[in-house]
Amino acid sequence: MADENITTTSSDEIDETDSPDAENWDISLRHGTLSKELKALEYFTANGLRQAFNVLDPKSTGKVTKTQLQILCINLCNVINVQFSPEDIMKFKDGEKELQFQDFIAYIGSKLLRKMDEKVVDSTKLDEISWTIVEKQRKTLTGDKKLTDNELFMIWQAFNKINIDNTVNIDIEETALFLEEFMTAMGTPWTRGPLDDFANGKIKLTFWEFIDCLENKYILSTPKSVYKFGLDKVNDVYVKEIMKTGLLTKKGHKVKSMKERFFVLSPQLLTYYEGKSSNGKRKGVIFVAKQSKVEGIDDSKTSKCRFSILCAQKNVPYEMEACDPKTKNEWIAKVQRCIDCGNLTPLMRELKDRSLERMKRRKKIADEERSRLEQEELIRRQLEELELIRLARDEAQAQAENEAALKEEERTRREELELLKAEYEKLLQEEKQAREVENQVREKQQQILEEEMLKRQELEKIKNEQDRILEEERKAREGLEELSKEQKKALDDERERLSQLEKARKRAEEQVETFHLKMKEAEEERRQAALKVELAKEKTRQMKVPVGLAKPLTLEQKMLITHRGAGSFVEQDFSKRPLYQQTDQPAAEIVNQRKLDEGERTEIVESNLVKPSEGSKHFEVI
């Protein structure tokens, strides 16, 4: 039958697990409600009522007046939708104006729950009624209050579930496990030290003591964005009792196609949703109970990592596929655990097992302690008896020894006199030997003193020699320091002189650069002059053509080679004037005219010579 809360768009999306009571079962199994017979409340709901009952009993008498309980009963009747009759509670245990908690629970089961028409009721609403009374105690707490009322209510519900012993206090070991789960979800290392310091030897804590410890010892400086992860973990593990969540590919029951669904496993219930989380639309529910069965399916070419779950309500198998073998085995183990727990939820089974193990362990410790005390008492009595026997024996022995001592004393006195005489003689002999040894020691000491005196004189000579050497080294070091100062001064002078030479070199380079520019200009003028000469030569050749065997005579001159190539000067040019011209005026132009048979050629050579400057140590252009 299709789920009344689900609308489908294709035949493959039809929910094949819902029944007319599915929604009520869903509320029952997710929130926890009344027992199947509807005769008694669930233990955690009764724990909440117990705490509310204790708030109404501030003097801890164990009883609350029926008048006070009427208001609580009216609110309970509004939740379970039954009519409240004040006469019922006043007639219950007629003759008594106050009720104990066990009587109050018996009244709820026999007078209120029997009137219910519904099979189930959301226990969260019952918890809210109890919480409205319990939360008034928060005002009496000291210290920082970080948790909101809604967060406290959720932790209070978890506290009531953990308290499997049906008392208002929770065992310190369960508190430690709860806090460890809380801190691990926050990503914070768990340490038990703050809890033990807070408990100060207590083995059980009330709910408000537990909240005080949590707020002031563990999350005092933690922002809400961080400890919210711990609250979510507590809500999933203890309140909703979610055992596992994740994505699986489910095979359709009517249309045999595989679709990805998000599954949430809680006690006796496997719910699946559209999308990647439980926030999507719910598509169906698979009931898990003792009649259910989960088993793996062998891999084939077309399917791998599959397993099937037999629905407890309709006896229909449902096939799912996991992403890998590890995930498949985890789901099979979790579902099998739900099946094995039967009517109890896995959390209740775990809490009961821990409680029994804790009781056995503490009983064993108590038995061992009792046995140890009994053994110590037995040993103490035996020691007392042995002490009496020892005293009696010592008294008899002392009397016998006293009599023997008198005889022994007389004999000992005579022996002591004889020994004393021998001792005196021995002492006289030893004194004589001691004086001889003393004389020998005195002579030996005198000899040692003389040797020490000689050694001292030698050491003084060595010391004087060392002082003389040190004085000489000091004077030599002072001479070296003076020499070092003079060398440093000379080095500074040389550096100054080198700096001046560097400046002179830079000025010389600038003048050489100027000289090179002027040389380039002279070369250009020479080239122009050469062209003119060639033109004149050509004209002369045309005017004077040689006749017969006659031909013009030419003077062969070898050009000088420079770093720039063939130079503009010949060796004869340098022999016609001195190398340096001592004048401040620009150099005169030197013109060599040579008359050859072919004609007359004029070469103008201009050169600038440099000479050392007497004042600044560099060359000037002349």
Among 163, 165, 159, which residue's Cα sits nearest to residue 182? 159
d(CA 139, CA 431): 94
- Full domain range(s) for residue 279: 244-344
3-state secondary structure string across 380-449? HHHHHHHHHHHHHHHHHHHHHHHHHHHHHHHHHHHHHHHHHHHHHHHHHHHHHHHHHHHHHHHHHHHHHH
Q: Kindly report, residue by residue over 429-462, the tens digit of the pLDDT.
A: 988 998 888 888 988 988 899 898 999 899 999 9
- The domain that holds 95 is classified in CATH as 1.10.238
d(CA 188, CA 263): 29
Q: How many domains does the chain fold into?
A: 2
d(CA 363, CA 621): 121
Query: What is the pLDDT averaged over residues 309-330?
Result: 86
Among 189, 259, 256, which residue's Cα sits nearest to residue 218? 189
Please report whether residue 197 resides in a domain.
Answer: no
Residue whose token pair is 């002179």? 504
3-state SS class at 554: coil
Please report whether residue 478 resides in a domain.
Answer: no
3-state SS class at 262: strand
Question: Where is the domain boundary, 344, 360, 388?
Answer: 344
DSSP state of 356: H
Please report whether residue 71 resides in a domain.
Answer: yes
d(CA 488, CA 465): 34
pTM of the predicted model as reported, rounded to 2 decimal places: 0.55
Question: Where is the domain boundary, 318, 344, 370?
Answer: 344
Please report whether residue 496 resides in a domain.
Answer: no
- The domain that holds 260 is classified in CATH as 2.30.29.30
Q: Are 129 and 94 in contact (CB under 8 A)?
A: no
Q: How far is CA 21 from CA 17, 285, 338, 345, 607, in A?
A: 11, 12, 21, 20, 126
**Burial readout 30-49 (b: 16 or more C-beta within 10 A, e: otherwise):** bbbbbeeebebbbbbbbbbb
3-state SS class at 345: coil
Q: Are 123 and 45 in contact (CB under 8 A)?
A: yes
pLDDT of residue 583: 44
Q: Kindly report, residue by residue over 260-291, the tens digit of the pLDDT.
A: 899 999 888 889 998 888 888 998 888 888 88
Three-point CA angle 203, 207, 212, nearest 5°: 90
d(CA 330, CA 364): 36
Q: Kindly report, residue by residue over 128-182, the tens digit of the pLDDT.
A: 999 999 988 887 766 667 888 899 999 999 998 888 877 888 888 989 999 999 9
Query: What is the pLDDT averaged over residues 118-126?
Result: 73
Q: Kindly report, residue by residue over 100-113, the tens digit of the pLDDT.
A: 998 888 888 888 88
Average pLDDT, the chain: 79
Please report whether residue 296 resides in a domain.
Answer: yes
Q: How far is CA 140 from CA 131, 136, 209, 262, in A?
A: 16, 8, 11, 45
β-sheet bridge partners, residue 261: 248
pLDDT of residue 4: 32
Amino acid 51 reads: Q
Q: Kindly report, residue by residue over 490-515, the tens digit of the pLDDT.
A: 888 888 989 898 898 888 888 888 88
Please report whether residue 56 resides in a domain.
Answer: yes
Question: Where is the domain boundary, 327, 344, 361?
Answer: 344
DSSP-H helix ranges across 138-234: 149-162, 172-186, 193-199, 207-213, 224-234
Please report whether residue 152 resides in a domain.
Answer: no
Report the Cα 392 to chain-centroid distance in Å.
71
Residue 353 has pLDDT above 80, yes or no: yes
Residue 349 has pLDDT above 70, yes or no: yes
Please report whether residue 64 resides in a domain.
Answer: yes
Distant-in-sequence, close-in-space partners of 314: CB < 8 Å, separation ≥ 6: 17, 19
pLDDT of residue 552: 52
Tokens of 453: 């005196």
3-state SS class at 294: strand
Instruction: Please report how many Cα atoms fall inside a 13 Å half-sphere around the Cα of residue 72, on the Cβ side.
Output: 29
pLDDT of residue 408: 87
